[in-house]
Amino acid sequence: MKVAKFGGSSLASGEQIKKVFEIVTADPERKFVVVSAPGKRNSDDIKVTDLLIEAAKQQLRGDNGEPLIEDVVARYGNIAKELDISEEVITAIRENLQALLHADQSEPKRYLDALKASGEDNNAKLIAAYFQRCGVEAQYINPNKAGLIVSDEDGFTQVLPESYDRLYNLHDVPGIVVFPGFFGYTLDGDVLTFSRSGSDITGSILANGVKADLYENFTDVDAVYAVNPNVVPNPKGIRELTYREMRELSYAGFSVFHDEALIPAFRAGIPVHIQNTNNPAAQGTRIVSTRDNTNGPVIGIASDKGFCSIYVSKYLMNREVGFGRKLLHILEDYGVAYEHIPSGIDDVTLILRQDQMKGDSEKKIITRIMQELHADEVIVEHNLALIMVVGEGMRHNVGTTARASKALADAKVNIEMINQGSSEVSMMFGVKEHSEEMAIQALYHEFF
Ligand SMILES: Nc1ncnc2c1ncn2[C@@H]1O[C@H](COP(=O)(O)OP(=O)(O)O)[C@@H](O)[C@H]1O
Ligand SMILES: N[C@@H](CC(=O)OP(=O)(O)O)C(=O)O
């Protein structure tokens, strides 16, 4: 039995949904179908999720979100027309969106999440209606009814473990299950969304819950490529990579698969197969526990912008008991999470996502580090890109770091920081954002 998840690009129009129907019905093993909200039809288009977020924000600040909601209804209306689905489905979608738009706003985050989640929820209803119209037994299933329970205790949405056993009961549903991605329900019955692109996470949770043999993730590319195809044209496709490699690469910028979506499938030992809705005959990319390391040290190179570093130096830092704890405590006081901490004898660098530094919090953090920790020097660097060079083969190959540094030096890219941290399958380079693309291209040409 397989779980097949289709992303927004695979569901952006009626024509796309017809392809999805063909794919699902071509294999009787595809019983569980997870869907995103309609995505972009072309590069200038707006995703339904973004329209819903903007409508909710307008309403929350006292403006009128109605016109944007009508845009959303029109998107579904066009799809319904292409698929020849009855007007009743669109009337129900309009009523649902109107009710959500005018719902209680006393908890703005809950209000926003409910509107955001409606993108996938209404799409799942519409797609189930299309399958039925085509004479295929299919049902929309609500995540609350199915028992996908989540919490946001640590500030982000996480599935509760009891969900998995409950989801197993979906085997009792006759025919194809059409399940909306991107959200679950709290024990109190409130909607909570995962982070952006989180339908991948739902697919993985469902695969674990129903004990699927395979989690198929359908998107709009023939494979996961060794680098972002928007940075290097026609890059090499990856046939197979391990969960660890994919986790590192998706964390570091491979937006093709959500970095939180691997753990549920990994824990249940379920392989993930990334495929192209527009070209299902392509081989795609399989994510598995182990693979042959015959392709050289590096499997992929990912990068992401928007980081800053705080460099702290103090003579004899290594002897000072509690220095690290006090430093991190200061960050905690400002609600700031760190990404990496490369360190030396007398110095340490904290790498953070810089959008966390709201208002004058950066200034206050620096002042406290100087005053409370008596640091000799504190230097903040903004606008850094982190480049992650990933490959299980790096453990067995000597000189990979040297090759990478030389490639960057030859391309005249200044390395701000290197971290080969505890992960044995990746190394990270910090460079200025304006050098990011050049660095990726230089590294790609060195290793592929
Ligand atoms: N290394 C990579 N390999 C393949 N695609 C990548 C990679 N890095 C970034 N992408 C981008 O990810 C896109 C697919 O992800 P996304 O737009 O979220 O798909 P979906 O709509 O199916 O959820 C591709 O079109 C591509 O532009
Ligand atoms: N629709 C949501 C969730 C999602 O997974 O979308 P997509 O499959 O288009 O990345 C978003 O845009 O974030």
Q: Is residue 293 part of a domain?
A: no
Q: For residues 10 and 64, state if they share a domain.
A: yes
- Ligand 1 midpoint to CA 228 (Å): 8
Q: Which atom of ligand 2 approaches the CA of 47 most closely?
A: 12
* Closest C-alpha residue for ligand 2 atom 5: 197
Q: For residues 58 and 108, state if they share a domain.
A: yes
Q: For residues 404 and 362, state if they share a domain.
A: yes
- Ligand 1 midpoint to CA 304 (Å): 14
Q: For residues 364 and 435, state if they share a domain.
A: yes
The answer, yes or no, to whether residue 442 has pLDDT greater than 70, is: yes
DSSP three-state, residue 207:
helix
Angle between helices 108-133 and 48-60 (to 10 degrees): 150
Q: Which atom of ligand 1 approaches the CA of 302 most closely?
A: 1
Q: Are 285 and 237 in contact (CB under 8 A)?
A: yes
Q: Is residue 325 part of a domain?
A: yes
Q: Is the ipTM of this complex over 0.90?
A: yes
User: If you average pLDDT over residues 378-390, what whole number do you get?
Assistant: 96
Interior CA angle at 364 toward 338 and 346, to 5°? 55
CB-based burial label for 188 (10 Å; 0-12, 13-18, 19+)? exposed
- Looking at every residue in the chain, the average pLDDT score rounds to 95
User: If you average pLDDT over residues 113-120, what whole number do you get?
Assistant: 98
C-alpha to C-alpha distance for 263 and 260, rounded to whole angstroms: 7
From 288, 312, 331, the end of a domain falls on 288
Q: Is residue 294 part of a domain?
A: no
Reported as a pLDDT band with limits 50, 70 and 90, residue 155 is: confident
Can you give the CATH number for the domain in which 190 is found?
3.40.1160.10
Reported as a pLDDT band with limits 50, 70 and 90, residue 421 is: low
Q: For residues 229 and 262, state if they share a domain.
A: yes
Q: Is residue 295 part of a domain?
A: no
User: If you average pLDDT over residues 419-430, what whole number do you get?
Assistant: 83
For the ranges 172-176, 220-224, 238-242, 416-420, the lowest mean pLDDT is seen at 416-420
The pick from 219, 231, 304 for probing ligand 1's pocket by mutation, whose C-beta has the most ligand atoms within 8 angstroms, reads 219
Please count the structural domains in the chain: 2
C-alpha to C-alpha distance for 334 and 394, rounded to whole angstroms: 37
User: If you average pLDDT over residues 105-125, what whole number do you get?
Assistant: 97
From 288, 321, 350, the end of a domain falls on 288
Q: For residues 271 and 416, state if they share a domain.
A: no
Spatial CB neighbours of 120, under 8 Å, sequence gap ≥ 6: 35, 36, 37, 180, 181, 182, 183, 199
Question: Per-residue DSSP letters for 84-149?
Answer: T--HHHHHHHHHHHHHHHTS--SSHHHHHHHHHHHHHHHHHHHHHHHHHHTT--EEE--HHHHT-B
The tens digit of pLDDT for each residue in 203-228 reads: 999 999 999 999 999 999 999 999 99
Q: Which atom of ligand 1 approaches the CA of 254 most closely?
A: 8
Q: For residues 78 and 174, state if they share a domain.
A: yes
Q: For residues 265 and 351, state if they share a domain.
A: no
What's the pLDDT at 293? 67
C-alpha to C-alpha distance for 292 and 69, rounded to whole angstroms: 50
- Ligand 2 midpoint to CA 196 (Å): 6
Q: How long is the chain?
A: 448
Q: For residues 314 and 256, state if they share a domain.
A: no
What's the pLDDT at 422? 66
Query: Which residues line ligand 2 at a C-beta cut-off of 6 Å?
Result: 7-8, 36-37, 39, 47, 49, 119, 181-182, 196-200
What's the pLDDT at 396? 76
Q: For residues 43 and 173, state if they share a domain.
A: yes
Q: Is residue 67 part of a domain?
A: yes
The pick from 196, 217, 218, 255 for probing ligand 2's pocket by mutation, whose C-beta has the most ligand atoms within 8 angstroms, reads 196
What's the pLDDT at 398? 79
The pick from 36, 45, 200 for probing ligand 2's pocket by mutation, whose C-beta has the most ligand atoms within 8 angstroms, reads 36
Reported as a pLDDT band with limits 50, 70 and 90, residue 358 is: confident
CB-based burial label for 15 (10 Å; 0-12, 13-18, 19+)? exposed
Q: Is residue 95 part of a domain?
A: yes
Domain assignment of residue 338, given as a range: 300-447
Q: Which atom of ligand 1 approaches the CA of 200 most closely?
A: 23
* Closest C-alpha residue for ligand 2 atom 8: 7
Residue ranges at the known binding site for substrate:
49, 120
Q: For residues 268 and 188, state if they share a domain.
A: yes
Q: Is residue 130 part of a domain?
A: yes
Q: Which atom of ligand 2 approaches the CA of 195 most closely?
A: 13
Q: Is residue 154 part of a domain?
A: yes
The answer, yes or no, to whether residue 153 has pLDDT greater than 90, is: no
C-alpha to C-alpha distance for 441 and 448, rounded to whole angstroms: 10
Q: Which atom of ligand 2 approaches the CA of 194 most closely?
A: 3
Q: For residues 203 and 346, state if they share a domain.
A: no
The pick from 20, 41, 199 for probing ligand 2's pocket by mutation, whose C-beta has the most ligand atoms within 8 angstroms, reads 199
The answer, yes or no, to whether residue 191 has pLDDT greater than 80, is: yes
Residue ranges at the known binding site for ATP:
5-8, 219-220, 225
From 260, 288, 316, the end of a domain falls on 288
Q: Identify which of 273, 179, 142 has the alpha carbon closest to the alpha carbon of residue 219.
A: 273
Can you give the CATH number for the domain in which 332 is found?
3.30.2130.10
The answer, yes or no, to whether residue 379 has pLDDT greater than 70, is: yes
